[in-house]
Amino acid sequence: MSAFRILPPGLLLAALAAGHAQAAPAAAAPAARCPADAGWDTPSAPHHIHGETWFVGTCGITALLLTSPEGHVLLDGGTARGAALIEANIRALGFDLRDVRYIAGSHEHFDHAAGIAALQKASGATVVARAPAAEVLRTGRSGRGDPQYGVLEAFDPLPGEVRLIGDGQVLELGPLRLTAHATPGHTSGSTSWTWRSCEGQSCVDIAYADSLTAISDDQWRFGDEDAHPGYLAAFRRSLDAVAGLPCDILVTPHPSASDLLARIGPGADKPLAAPGACRAYADTARERLDRRLAEEEAGAR
């Protein structure tokens, strides 16, 4: 991974105080606010979300760092190029990638998972995933069981073991407790995560709800029971599950899906927490799925 020297001005003092005096001020710091035409690999400044939860992703792809005195958890690794931006953001906040103990994530597509191999190698962290996602992380390729199979990029396989986690199981590290929720549909391995975050006596539930978009390559039909029995029913259960997550603060793998970057950082102009955010997110996805199924019925797909 190349040595990035990016320090947003506001974070320079914090980083220096944290003993990172060797990091030079940036020639071109990532924008505090992302441009409207930002892509997956457009650098974003890191942002505090709540408590020990930090946004360390790019303008187009979320990565979250949950910190603790016993080490950190990283959720998602971005694209292959995005991994270096995530590492730079972790460093800019004054944290050390080598203190990341676990890397888990949303789903096994290259825009969220391709960077995991490099981040695992640099950190020595244990990668944790549900079984269908773990299989893709190990090989770097999805199979025909993925709705987007025909249009996906392969990525570097993970050389080491992936620790499996099941629906409802809790990933623990020091005071951190992240609950894994199986929410298949966008992919088979789609996983959402929830945790309680406290600032003093004030506690909230954060939900990292996975993508729920019913999109595919030209071959796949969500309504084709013969091709993939039970897939649609599982997808619908996921929509109900996400609607019911403990969810004061919704975070999504693509920041734009929950307007995340308008809710965090110095330029935030929308409330971070919103009652019913997960329910609204699931409702939007359900409408999209129903529209998609109607198109399939009509032969438009």
**Under the rule (CB under 5 A), what is the footprint of Zn ion?**
109
Residue nearest to Zn ion (CB): 109
| Smallest separation, CB 110 to Zn ion (Å) | 9
Between 52 and 76, CB nearer to Zn ion:
76
| Smallest separation, CB 284 to Zn ion (Å) | 16
Using CA atoms, how far apart are residues 258 and 240, in angstroms rounded to an integer?
18
| Smallest separation, CB 188 to Zn ion (Å) | 12
| Smallest separation, CB 210 to Zn ion (Å) | 9
Between 109 and 263, CB nearer to Zn ion:
109
| Smallest separation, CB 211 to Zn ion (Å) | 5
Cα angle 152, 157, 44 (rounded to 5 degrees) comes to 65
Between 50 and 109, CB nearer to Zn ion:
109
Between 109 and 181, CB nearer to Zn ion:
109
Q: Which of 35, 37, 36, 81 is nearest to 57 (CA)?
A: 81
| Smallest separation, CB 255 to Zn ion (Å) | 14
Using CA atoms, how far apart are residues 144 and 33, in angstroms rounded to an integer?
38
Between 176 and 207, CB nearer to Zn ion:
207
Using CA atoms, how far apart are residues 200 and 267, in angstroms rounded to an integer?
24
Q: Which of 126, 109, 121, 255 is nearest to 191 (CA)?
A: 109
Name the pairing type of β-strands 249-251 and 202-208.
Answer: parallel
Both structure tokens of 82: 């995005």
Q: Which residue has the tokens 């109607």?
A: 294
Consecutive H or E run containing 196: strand 191-199
| Smallest separation, CB 252 to Zn ion (Å) | 11
| Smallest separation, CB 213 to Zn ion (Å) | 7
Between 52 and 146, CB nearer to Zn ion:
146
Greatest extent of the chain over all pairs of C-alpha atoms, in Å: 62
Between 91 and 109, CB nearer to Zn ion:
109
3 state DSSP class of 31: strand
Between 71 and 185, CB nearer to Zn ion:
185
Using CA atoms, how far apart are residues 241 and 20, in angstroms rounded to an integer?
42
The number of beta carbons lying within 10 Å of the beta carbon of residue 90 is 25
Contact 154, 148 (CB under 8 A): no
DSSP string, 45-60: --EEEETTEEE-SBSS
